Structure 1
Amino acid sequence: MHFEIQKQHFGELTEYIIQENATGNRFVVIPELGGIVRQLSLRKDNTLFSVLKTPGTPDTLQGDTQSASELLFPFASRIPGGRYNFLGKEYILARNDPSHDSAIHGLVRKKDFHLTEQVINEDHACIELHYNLHDAEGYPFQVNFSIRYTLYANGLFNLTYIAKNTGTEPAPIMFGWHPYFRLGNEMTDAWKIDIPSEEIVTFDSDMMPVGREPFPLSGPTPLFKKVLDNAFHVKHTGNNASTYLISDNQDVTLQIEQETGEGKFNHLVIYTPPERDCVAIEPLTANVNAFNNGEGLNVLAPGSIMQGTIGVRLR
């Protein structure tokens, strides 16, 4: 077979390694730590690039507070005070971001996901995990959340989330992925970025959206000494949009493609950490604080399903 799936220990954790043998393309998933991708390696010509930055040991991964590669559901980013209104009722989420007195990044981080499927075919291999979200503090809705990771023979890696409302009441949902991308051992200042947006979200002093304004950058833009911590409304044609992270020195481009359109990934957050060795590129289905401002918020009716896909590849 071209692909294989292996299970092994990572400290006290269990991880699954999905690999395409001819190229060495691979990804590593840890179900009981929020179903995160710990590692993603993709080949360009003769070089195998490790394109995700995550903490390197089980202990540092479990203690990570920077949400490296985490799945953000049923909300992403901050909700001030943990308070939101939905269909005429106020709800209060647990505040897990004391620096801003907010709830942040959802309710499935570091939760124990269950393996539901693993598949090996000639042209791809995939693994699917799920977590049943029910009666959480401040979120009294019943949602079955699944994540499917797929690696294709052509080097494409896909992440697909699937949310099904298994309760009797409508449920507010948004989804985001929080990866930190890198390109070899180069620093951020050596790269360019091409962001698919003409509008940037404007924030108040608490980093909450208050409007939008034209985004002045177009095409590949050098990241040299540029600091980004911004949200964007995504411009798209057809059913997708792509952010490109470009290393001219290494002649490689990382493409992060997000499915767009009604209910899909029409928002984006980009952040350059102080270490200047990676860039967080975070596709979102809704704007920051969407549980209150409603921008992009999906309302999932009982029995209904919502899903969307993010793709990563090298060019």
Structure 2
Amino acid sequence: MKNSNMAFEILRQQFGDLTEYVIQQPSTGNRFVVVPELGGIVRQLSLRKGVTLFSLLKTPPTPQSLKDDTQSASELLFPFASRIPDGKYKFLGKEYQLAKNETGNKNAIHGLVRKNQFQLTEQSISSEGAAIKLSYHLDQPEGYPFNVQFSVLYSLSTEGTFSLTYEAMNAGAQPCPVMFGWHPYFELGNEDADAWKINIPSDTIVDFDDNQIPTGTSAYPFQGSTPLFRKVLDNCFVVKSNQQIATTELRSDNQDVTLHIEQETGEGKFNFLVVYTPPARDCVAIEALTGNVDSFNNSQGLNILGPGQAITGTIRVQLR
């Protein structure tokens, strides 16, 4: 299937036994690829700066390794992100038990929509860009007896900006707790993370216990552009923003390119951020979150939707 106009096209193709959609601008090479049946993930994102087309997402390279991935590469994390200790939480005076699905069976981690089949609900092409919308209906899964319609709209603009906009709507009769995060691993060319600098929009770091559950906060002293050379990060930050957007910058001086990851901030938006440098040092996870780790228990950034209520937020990625 091919849907196109002069500037953009949307292609449907096979990736092994998976079906994926390619949204691209042939004149620039800017493109992204989504896999609806595997949790609606973005498998590829390529954006151009000058003469160079950068592949920006590190994901497993084969259909089977993508299915088997336990590192949540590029996954959508909903209705919670990060860890809930022992999978237990309280909401409006009632106790709930989620499946303990983290390696080691200690915690519940990263939500209930990963690797599930999403539905393609919209695709569009205009003079401004192209977009594709995927949705998933949570109908009282184990440990989360709520009814939520979840969707994500991915888009690519003529200016070369990739956007992810999520929406969650309470389709049930009772209030429900929701938190959302995206889990991309970013790369810049073939360099190691040690060659890059990062600018994290925060002056407050979340303190963790041995189980990586929040115990409080501390001052984060590294302001401005900070070299990642030999720096190990696996931390959550409280985002600081005077505007309605906070921007994390990942820069390669050697390649003269800066990756900008913007997250909407303010009431109900993306006011937390996880940054993680994997041991291989070949990428950096930069994860915008609407709530703190374990927000189902500590309520920090937790959104509570009444019946019929919806919440939305946007993350944008661009090169400069």
- Partner residue, 1:254: 259
- Partner residue, 2:64: 59
- Partner residue, 2:159: 154
Contact preservation (8 Å) 1:80, 1:100: no
Aligned partner of 1:127: which letter?
A: I
Aligned partner of 2:39: which letter?
A: G
- SS for the counterpart of 2:246 is strand
Cα-to-partner distance string for 1:240-290 (whole Å, 9 max, x where unaligned)? 000000000000000000000000000000000000000000000000000
- Partner residue, 2:232: 227
- SS for the counterpart of 2:140 is strand
- The alpha carbon displacement at 1:99 in A equals 2.1
The answer to whether 1:243 aligns with 2:255 is no
- Partner residue, 1:182: 187
Q: Which runs of 5+ in 2 are unaligned?
A: 1-5
- Of residues 105, 111, 114, the one that matches 1:106 is 111
Aligned partner of 1:116: which letter?
A: T
Instruction: Give the ranges of 4+ consecutive aligned residues of structure 1 lying more than 6 Å apart after TM superposition.
Output: none
Q: Percent identity?
A: 65
Contact preservation (8 Å) 1:83, 1:93: yes
- Partner residue, 1:209: 214
- The alpha carbon displacement at 1:98 in A equals 3.9
- The alpha carbon displacement at 1:100 in A equals 5.5
- Partner residue, 2:272: 267
The answer to whether 1:47 aligns with 2:62 is no
Structure 2 CA distance for aligned equivalents of residues 101 and 209 of structure 1? 16
- The alpha carbon displacement at 1:206 in A equals 1.0
Structure 2 CA distance for aligned equivalents of residues 123 and 215 of structure 1? 39
Aligned partner of 1:278: which letter?
A: C
- SS for the counterpart of 2:297 is helix
- SS for the counterpart of 1:61 is helix
- Of residues 1, 8, 11, the one that matches 1:3 is 8
- The alpha carbon displacement at 1:237 in A equals 1.4
- Partner residue, 2:85: 80
- Partner residue, 1:23: 28
Q: Which runs of 5+ in 1 are unaligned?
A: none
Structure 2 CA distance for aligned equivalents of residues 54 and 22 of structure 1? 25
Aligned partner of 2:270: which letter?
A: F
Structure 2 CA distance for aligned equivalents of residues 164 and 152 of structure 1? 26
Contact preservation (8 Å) 1:28, 1:40: yes
The answer to whether 1:136 aligns with 2:141 is yes
- SS for the counterpart of 1:283 is strand
TM, length-normalised to structure 1: 0.99
- Partner residue, 1:94: 99
Aligned partner of 1:175: which letter?
A: F
- Partner residue, 2:3: none
- Of residues 161, 165, 171, the one that matches 2:170 is 165
**How large is the RMSD of aligned CA atoms in angstroms?**
0.6
Aligned partner of 1:39: which letter?
A: Q
